[in-house]
Amino acid sequence: MTLSLTRRQTLLALGTAPLLAAAGCASRGAPAPAVVAGFAPTGRLRACINLGNPILARRDAATQQVSGVSVDLAHRLGARLGLAVELVVVEAAARSVETVRSGQADIGFFAVDPARSQGVRFSAPYVQIEGAYLVRQASPLTDNTQVDRAGTRIMVGRGSAYDLYLSRELKAATLMRTPTSPQVVAEFLAQNADVAAGVKQQLEKDLKRVPGLRLLPGRFMVIEQAMGVQAGRGEAVERELAAFVEEAKASGFVAEALKRHGIQGAGVAPPARA
């Protein structure tokens, strides 16, 4: 990936993340060399990290270091495979999908959606996140079911799980799009949209920052976050990734990562159905 396409940060065994990952690795037998090569043909595990979802990853303003649940999982998988980890950092979900789909990264962390299945193979979800609506205090809207009406304009991050979901589900309301999800509330205000849609936790942060706004009660969707690899890496790679995710959930690693990073409102996904 060139720097002109996205902001890129390479972190090879930086900080404590690899130690945290290695400390809880599963006792399953080591993956076969062919599986390791299938994951990482360059000899390093290139993990695409999307900063557009603050529940999963964020960049420290002072140190510029990227951390979060997805970063911890990337290092844990790297430890499992015996590989150094390279983080390929992007700002939006759509770019993350394209980065993995095109082979510019080996693994990624995505909201599961049928529109993203072409060229990417997903694991079962490891985390579930709520999607919510935000409006102005003076808005007549009081319930999620009132949003899909003619004349209602909803601001959403382009290519996000909410964009894909609402593009399918809305019958009357109109979608407006920003380049990335963290820009949603700013553009919602600037363009005088009626509703902002996004990760509930991000919208709650915006509420504290911007007066005169409120969340509609409850949620309009549950987003299932999974890991993914480029299609064509082989069934053995897909099976190994699936087993890795299930072990990370069952061992408590995902729950501990959510707690360690202070994430509230997101929960560990249930075990995959057989």
Per-residue pLDDT for 12 more than 70? no
Domain end (from 182, 197, 221): 221
Looking at the structure, tell me whether residues 21 and 151 fall in a common domain: no
Looking at the structure, tell me whether residues 153 and 23 fall in a common domain: no
- Number of folded domains that form the chain: 2
Looking at the structure, tell me whether residues 179 and 194 fall in a common domain: yes
Six-digit token pair at 62? 């002072």
Six-digit token pair at 23? 């400390």
Looking at the structure, tell me whether residues 102 and 67 fall in a common domain: yes
9 in any annotated domain: no
Q: Dihedral of the CA atoms 166, 102, 56, 245 (nearest 10)?
A: 100
Looking at the structure, tell me whether residues 143 and 122 fall in a common domain: no
**17 DSSP β-pair partners:** none
Looking at the structure, tell me whether residues 124 and 200 fall in a common domain: no
Domain CATH for 38: 3.40.190.10
Report in angstroms the alpha-carbon separations of 192 from 16, 74, 154, 171, 188.
44, 39, 10, 21, 6
Per-residue pLDDT for 139 more than 70? yes
Span 236-252, average pLDDT: 98
Secondary-structure percent of the chain, ordered helix, strand, coil, rounded to 5: 35, 25, 40
Per-residue pLDDT for 26 more than 50? no
91 in any annotated domain: yes
78 in any annotated domain: yes
3-state secondary structure of 247: helix
pLDDT the model gives residue 93: 86
2 in any annotated domain: no
5 in any annotated domain: no
Report in angstroms the alpha-carbon separations of 216 from 12, 109, 196, 203.
42, 27, 10, 11
Looking at the structure, tell me whether residues 242 and 213 fall in a common domain: no
Q: Dihedral of the CA atoms 43, 124, 238, 241 (nearest 10)?
A: 40
Report the predicted TM-score, pTM, of the whole model to 2 decimal places: 0.74
Cβ(109)–Cβ(116) under 8 Å? Answer: no
Higher pLDDT, 6 or 169: 169
Cβ(268)–Cβ(226) under 8 Å? Answer: no
Rounded distance between C-alpha atoms, residue 33 and residue 35, angstroms? 5
6 in any annotated domain: no
Report in angstroms the alpha-carbon separations of 143 from 132, 135, 216.
11, 11, 6
pLDDT band, very low/low/confident/very high, at 27 (cuts 50, 70, 90): low
pLDDT the model gives residue 114: 83
Closest CA to 66 of 97, 99, 89: 89
Looking at the structure, tell me whether residues 64 and 119 fall in a common domain: yes
206 in any annotated domain: yes
255 in any annotated domain: yes
Rounded distance between C-alpha atoms, residue 180 and residue 20, angstroms? 30
3-state secondary structure of 256: helix
205-208 long-range contacts, CB within 8 A, separation 24+: 205/54, 206/134, 207/134
Looking at the structure, tell me whether residues 192 and 232 fall in a common domain: no
Range of the domain at 108: 17-128+224-268
pLDDT band, very low/low/confident/very high, at 159 (cuts 50, 70, 90): confident
Looking at the structure, tell me whether residues 79 and 212 fall in a common domain: no
Per-residue pLDDT for 72 more than 50? yes
Looking at the structure, tell me whether residues 175 and 263 fall in a common domain: no
Looking at the structure, tell me whether residues 217 and 254 fall in a common domain: no
Higher pLDDT, 105 or 165: 105
Q: Dihedral of the CA atoms 145, 151, 154, 159 (nearest 10)?
A: 110
Question: Where do we find the tokens 């409102």?
Answer: 265
